Structure 1
């Protein structure tokens, strides 16, 4: 009889405990066991930081492209493209005679946004411009990356810079960089008549010597300003400014 009573009390106590657990509100239950249908998965890590980023393509004898890319929530929301001529001035598509080049400028920007990618087709009959645009956009996207793929301070490539214009014109520099080292520098000047200076015929000897000797000095200084060339102080200042502008174009961040 006593054994039956003990078993009955134990059974009643077990039922009471089970009922109490089932009556717990969801927030009172141990957190490790909650599996609500509305639980949100962790947010995916972002590839790009929101913002607007500008980058240049490589420069050559025809100039270079510049891309300004706006990113929001890992989406390319806007792209502005332009080309800069071999004389380091913006190309005016309102007067530019080659129609496909003008069309590519508008169409390529739309393609980058629509596809949310740099991997778009070149514009027919404007392949060279298209490839420059793609390189510039790719570099702008690299600048935007949360985790960068390029670990150097400068992009590898050839970059154009120019000095401010004075009464006698301005200077242009083409600076080639590899692994954060300046490997080549080409210098030129555009006269007040908007013509490249012809050093083979230029009468002022010191200016010609500066043009010939300063590139090696810029390579040696790794793109930093060099001392004024005796007898060609103004030219040296202009070249220093142009090289600094090219180095700025090459920066990853």
Structure 2
């Protein structure tokens, strides 16, 4: 009878929400990024202590990779979501929580970012170099004040897609048709052809557009860093 009671007690412990047997999270600080949408990307920094989620910091960036300041953002639901959802992840000890009403897109992105951070914290061997998805990256700023932003799509550890925009010093986006000089879209297409199918950003064969190529290489490396499972 006593043996039956002990087995029953063990089952109750294993089924308890507080028991993180399946998680196996290692203590430390882990970062995760969501898939990039056309206008934003979400970021999470997750702190693991004693095998549990001890804290979560949430951020969101625009399509120019400029961080949104929720303290003065002109859409209140976003600010409330950014301020409160970190605590919800700690309470749930999961990456899946209820989305904040009025900020569903941001909430969903943060859940994905937290999920990816927790996968990095897990003990399981990383079978892939990158998460599948689309990730934002940016180059350094050129002498004339602009920089390149890329959307890099990754599937099965290979780059399968690339989109590019040039952000000017005033944070507006350049219309390629107004660019004077080497045809910008032609150079971008040549770069994409060299990049697709790779697992890195070591393109070195764009004649006549060396400066652009170097900036795009940096931007793609930045995106792949966000995609990394390590």
Q: Normalized against structure 2, the TM-score is what?
A: 0.86
Name the counterpart of 1:87: 64
Moved over 4 A (4+): none
Partner Cα distance (1:238, 1:45) in 2:
42
1:139 shift after superposition: 0.2
1:106 shift after superposition: 1.2
Is the CA contact (8 Å cut-off) linking 1:206 and 1:231 kept in structure 2?
no
Name the counterpart of 1:110: 87
SS at match of 2:196: helix
1:228 shift after superposition: 5.0
Partner Cα distance (2:199, 2:175) in 1:
27
How big is each residue's C-alpha offset from its partner over 1:220-239, in whole Å with a ceiling of 9 and x where there is no partner? 43332211522222111110
Partner Cα distance (2:163, 2:22) in 1:
43
Larger deviation, residues 195-204 vs 214-223:
214-223
SS at match of 1:205: coil
1:240 shift after superposition: 0.5
How big is each residue's C-alpha offset from its partner over 1:10-47, in whole Å with a ceiling of 9 and x where there is no partner? xxxxxxxxxxxxxxxxxxxxxxxxxxxxxxxxxx7970
Larger deviation, residues 111-120 vs 78-87:
111-120
Larger deviation, residues 198-207 vs 56-65:
198-207
Q: Normalized against structure 1, the TM-score is what?
A: 0.78
Partner Cα distance (1:193, 1:232) in 2:
24
Query: What are the within-5 Å matches in structure 2 for residues 140-219 of structure 1?
Result: 140-148=117-125, 151-168=127-144, 169-219=146-196
Count of residue pairs brought into register by the alignment: 209
Partner Cα distance (2:192, 2:72) in 1:
35
SS at match of 1:189: strand
1:72 shift after superposition: 1.1
How big is each residue's C-alpha offset from its partner over 1:34-77, in whole Å with a ceiling of 9 and x where there is no partner? xxxxxxxxxx7970110000010000111200000001122100
Aligned CA-pair RMSD: 1.6
Is the CA contact (8 Å cut-off) linking 1:207 and 1:231 kept in structure 2?
no
Partner Cα distance (1:45, 1:178) in 2:
27
Higher relative contact order (CA 8 A, sep 6+): 2
Question: Does structure 1 residue 71 correspond to structure 2 residue 31?
Answer: no
List alignment gaps of at least 5 residues for structure 1. 1-43
SS at match of 2:177: coil
Is the CA contact (8 Å cut-off) linking 1:170 and 1:189 kept in structure 2?
yes
- Quick one: which of 103, 110, 123 aligns to 2:100? 123
List alignment gaps of at least 5 residues for structure 2. 1-20
Q: Which has the larger radius of gyration?
A: 1
Is the CA contact (8 Å cut-off) linking 2:138 and 2:147 kept in structure 1?
yes
1:208 shift after superposition: 3.4
Is the CA contact (8 Å cut-off) linking 1:48 and 1:146 kept in structure 2?
yes
